[in-house]
A and B are shown apart, each in its own frame.
Chain A
Amino acid sequence: MSFDENFDVIVIGAGHAGCEAASAAARLGTKTALVTLNLDLIGQMSCNPAIGGIAKGHLVREVDALGGIMGRVIDRTGIQFRLLNRSRGPAVQSPRAQADRTLYRNEMRRVLEATPHLSLRQGKVVDLVVRDRVVHGVELEDGRLFGCKAVVVATGTFLNGLIHTGRRTYSGGRTGEPASIELADALKRIGFPVGRLKTGTPPRLDGRTIDWDAFEPQPGDKTPVPFSFSTDSLEQTQINCYIGYTNTTVHQAIQNNLSESPLYSGKIQGIGPRYCPSIEDKVVKFSDKSRHQLFLEPEGHDTNEVYLNGFSTSLPAELQQELVRMIPGLEETKIIRPGYAIEYDFVDPRELGPDLQTHRVSGLFHAGQINGTTGYEEAACQGLIAGINAGLHTQGRAPFRLRREEAYTGVLIEDLIKQGVDEPYRIFTSRAEYRLALRYDNADARLESYGRTLGLVGDSDWERFNARQTRLSVLRKALETTRFRRTDPDHAALQSQLDSDLGDSVSLGQLAKRQGVTADLVRDLLPAHLRIALVRADLESVLADSLYDGYLQSQKQVIERLYHHDGLRIPTALPFRGLSGLSNEVVERLERARPQTFGEARRIPGLTPAALSTLLVHLSSQQKAS
């Protein structure tokens, strides 16, 4: 077969997964093509114009530490930054930012165009060239054939996308863009099990028709926390978002028109996310609530478009207009783009290994919504891992994987490939057993050296990383060695300030763990030479380490005590079918999930206790035999 062009890696789709995948593969030095339906919509935010949020912000930090690009792009194009959960512990704080949608898109394209070894190609992929379960290239709708050694499929909601507004249904990948039907068929032909999911988006309003005074302003942080470890300062002017509420008039009108909703008329088969319900769902399932919160999020500096967050709907467009006008402050408002629901295909992620390569076809990787996830950040981290591994695959290097103890990315991927999905998967901090250890502020310490080894972290970032780690260790040392003795004049003053006995001698580190001791106080007590040059974020990281240290130790012990068999390794060649006493269903589940340890097997849903004990008996007898 002759190809029109040859690449090492081809990435299909230029959303948040595709962009990371293409950028990573190219920066590993592999000749990479990013193929997209429309070059003008690279990095498009299909839904809300925001990045981050609880646990999602952690993912962006991890992407950044590994050398990904999402954090840098949002820092350059974000128009409102907030660190969420400031009143809580550092492990559950997470950055979030509103983006200028157009700037984000443009900046993403600029970054990709500036990436060596990366080519952008516009076109529609209609088939994969697969021979003997190995991928060799892709076929485009216009007849072009591109050859390659690895493909990353990052098609988002485009795979067999079907858009619903009211009773009207039409094929589409996003409003105004065609769906990718042929590729969906191609994946089915290969034999991938395909399911159907649903998501939705709210209407966008004309900002000039909103009575802004009727809403409560929600300003960004005074000292914004950027996403990227490499960002010193933000570029964009910061704006406010606004908070409002629905009322019972709106709810009643929705109740009266449920028959118009494809969700309730039974037209939509796909399963939607429970944590991102449509306004129809909110009204029906929480009928006792007299109001639901809404956020008015401006989409950028140079546009009047406003995103009505919290009002996702697939009701008919003309009804959406009526409903919106029942909201106080939106009486005169005009909808620019109606909301809609979209159903799309996803491929069972249990088809994937931890490197996001499919078991079925060598060199074929899946990332983002095709794996059943939702969210830009979830997509980006998968794109990065898939892109890295696609690149490594073509270079004949060992795959790269992250464990759930070291990164949210690892949690997400392991959950996907071991448990599969039955609704769009979103990351939550509670999904991470070691959430106290996986903080947004220590993502660099956790992951940056991996990024460096892979070749994704450049020299200047690496220097910056090392400088920070050095500062952190100096600070840690200072907390340990700075002591307050009863003989010191500071001691008495401190005692009276804290209203408690400090003992004869107390270190600054011990002091920091006491109730009522703030980071500010610790800073003031630091030796002068450190205080002057202090980077606030450094102090916070060091204090967070010490806050959680004891808990992490004891948590680890508890987990070890609970699951001391979890570490037992399952040989990759273990023939599950050969183990007597396992039902066919259990064998199939095990073969699909391919757990590498007993702990992973234990987490596979549907494995009976009897099956687990059979497996355990077998594993421990193997271990004793060897």
Chain B
Amino acid sequence: MSTIVALSTPMGRAAIAVVRLSGSLSLSIAKGLCVELDNVKPRCATLAQIRYPPTGEILDEVLISFFKGPHSVTGEDVVEISCHGSPAVVRQILDLTLHLGARLADPGEFTLRALSNRKINLSQAEAIRDLIAAQTQAAVKQASRQIGGELSTRLDQFKDRLIKVIVLLESALEFVEDDLPLTEVNLIEEQLGEVRHGINGLAQSYAAGRLLQEGVKVAIIGSPNVGKSSLFNRLVDQDRAIVTPLPGTTRDTLSHSIDIGGVPVVLTDTAGLRETNDGIERLGIERTHKTINDADVVLNVLECTNQTEGALDHATTIPSIIVLNKCDLQVSSHGPKHQEGLRVSALTGEGLDTLRAAILQILNRGNVEHEGLVITNARHYNLLNCATQGLDEALELIRRRASEELIVVPLNNALKFLGQITGEITTEDILSQIFSTFCIGK
């Protein structure tokens, strides 16, 4: 059976990522990655360096754990590579393992192998799936490990502030006979408003986070013969697409994965859009339209020297960048003055860095506040939204001057939802805070 490999932790920036191999070649692939691995012992973590084969340059320092079958999660030989959680590093490691004979695992293939090797039974496999879907502490722990603490640090700050508010409200309820300071509604409202804003902002970063996880789809579109395929080849740094001086050379769409500033990008070259009677070309144009609709960013390519033609109207709300190609051909600045756009040359490479930066900028839009911290997990997104909703309810109750026991209900819910991401807060924790904050004891 083939040796499979996959990133076991979510895509995206994180402190640590785990790449897992399963199959008979696991150990030899690991040894191919890191020369120091001659004496690797099963169930022991070994510190190792992964190097680029051609240059010998260090790619990453990693921890290798080897599990000899059948005493492993899948029942086969398993190697886990804990590397640093940069998408670029992860992808390079994955590429290297593929080079050394592994193939990318299908979704759920690790569990399937565990199942067929009788490491688990079907209901356990289902339970594992449920467990991951379920909001249990196990998932919580996994999540906080996966995202390397960055998210939990941020959430802990929100939780702390939320707890402080709950402590004020609860102690007013429970210790009515004690000499406690009066709760200041305005202050509580302000605190909750800020927390709500922060949590909501984090939730909104999911749009960007999803892109990080699934890869950003960038489509190159334009009229025939504006140099889309040349641009494509230039950006992927390979002669993937056939380039000729004839309009309509590209018939089918062609995709390739690249890395722009650590963000995985799936770049797609498309057939030029024009009226045509050629059946094959028409099919290609249909595909172009589909690609545009699926894209996250569109590169709308024009010829810099073309005075007459404007940018293609692709009639969608997808963010697009107007790219003025072939700027090497334009000796003076007689370009189409009505057209704003990025001047590039697929031939010389001029302006490509600016183009890459422009793509990144679109992706980062709306994500400035979080200093790059984004939500990549749909479950987290959902929980953050639920928490935001709880805070909204609480704020509404405060505005209606409701009694504390009511205000605390949605706040506790919000806290529980956040707790499903980073670990639960118990009543005992709240009480402890009360006792350390206030002198209770009639």
Contacts and interface: CB of A to CB of B under 8 A. Distances in A.
Chain B binds chain A: yes
Interface of A: 53-55, 84-85, 87-89, 91-92, 274-277, 282, 285-286, 289, 292-293, 295, 309-310, 312, 428-431, 435-436, 515, 551, 555, 558, 562, 564-565, 602, 609-610, 612-613, 616-617, 620-621, 624-625
B59 interface: no
Nearest to A428: B174
Nearest to B423: A609
Contacts of B137: 602, 609, 612-613
B177 A88 contact: no
B190 interface: no
Interface string B156-178: 00000000000000100111111
A274 B430 CA distance: 13
Interface stretch (B320-328, B339-347, B397-405): B397-405
B417 to A, nearest CB: 8
A516 to B, nearest CB: 10
A245 B223 CA distance: 86
Nearest to A309: B442
A274 B179 contact: no
B179 A620 contact: no
Nearest to A624: B123
B355 to A, nearest CB: 45
Interface string B413-437: 1001100100000010011100100
A311 B343 CA distance: 81
B406 A625 contact: no
Contacts of B134: 564-565, 616
B439 A277 contact: yes
Given A88-B403, A428-B174, A289 B136 contact: no
Contact of B173 (A85, A309, A562): A85
A54 B131 contact: no
B136 A612 contact: yes
B217 to A, nearest CB: 33
22 contacts: A54-B174, A88-B405, A91-B405, A92-B404, A277-B440, A286-B439, A429-B173, A429-B405, A430-B170, A430-B174, A436-B409, A515-B401, A551-B409, A555-B409, A562-B416, A609-B138, A612-B137, A616-B131, A616-B138, A620-B130, A621-B124, A624-B126
Nearest to B403: A89
B173 A92 contact: yes
Nearest to B128: A617
Given A55-B174, A429-B173, A609-B140, A621 B406 contact: no
A558 B170 CA distance: 20
A620 B123 contact: yes
B179 A292 contact: yes
A285 B43 CA distance: 49
A609 B423 CA distance: 10
Contact of A435 (B128, B141, B402, B405): B405
Contact of B176 (A54, A275, A555, A602): A54
A84 B178 contact: no
B351 to A, nearest CB: 51
Contacts of B124: 617, 621
Nearest to A422: B428
A430 B430 contact: yes
A84 B176 contact: yes
B431 A430 contact: yes
B441 interface: yes
Closest 8 CB pairs of A and B: A613-B138, A621-B123, A89-B403, A609-B137, A293-B179, A274-B435, A286-B439, A620-B127
B255 interface: no
A431 B426 CA distance: 9
Given A612-B138, A620-B130, A621-B127, A88 B173 contact: yes
B135 interface: yes
Given A53-B177, A564-B134, A609 B427 contact: no
B348 interface: no
Given A53-B177, A89-B403, A555-B409, A430 B427 contact: yes
A281 B41 CA distance: 55
Interface in B1-47: none
B340 to A, nearest CB: 49
A617 B131 CA distance: 8
A373 to B, nearest CB: 15
A98 B153 CA distance: 48
Contacts of B416: 558, 562
Contacts of A435: 405
B135 A562 contact: yes
A285 B439 CA distance: 8
B330 interface: no
A217 B283 CA distance: 92
Nearest to A516: B401
A327 to B, nearest CB: 15
Given A515-B401, A551-B409, A289 B174 contact: no
A556 to B, nearest CB: 11
A620 B138 CA distance: 15
B307 interface: no
A430 B137 CA distance: 22
Contacts of B135: 562
Contacts of A602: 137
B405 A610 contact: no
A515 B406 CA distance: 14
Interface string B100-134: 00000000000000000000010110111011001
Given A277-B441, A309-B442, A620-B123, A89 B136 contact: no
A88 B405 CA distance: 8
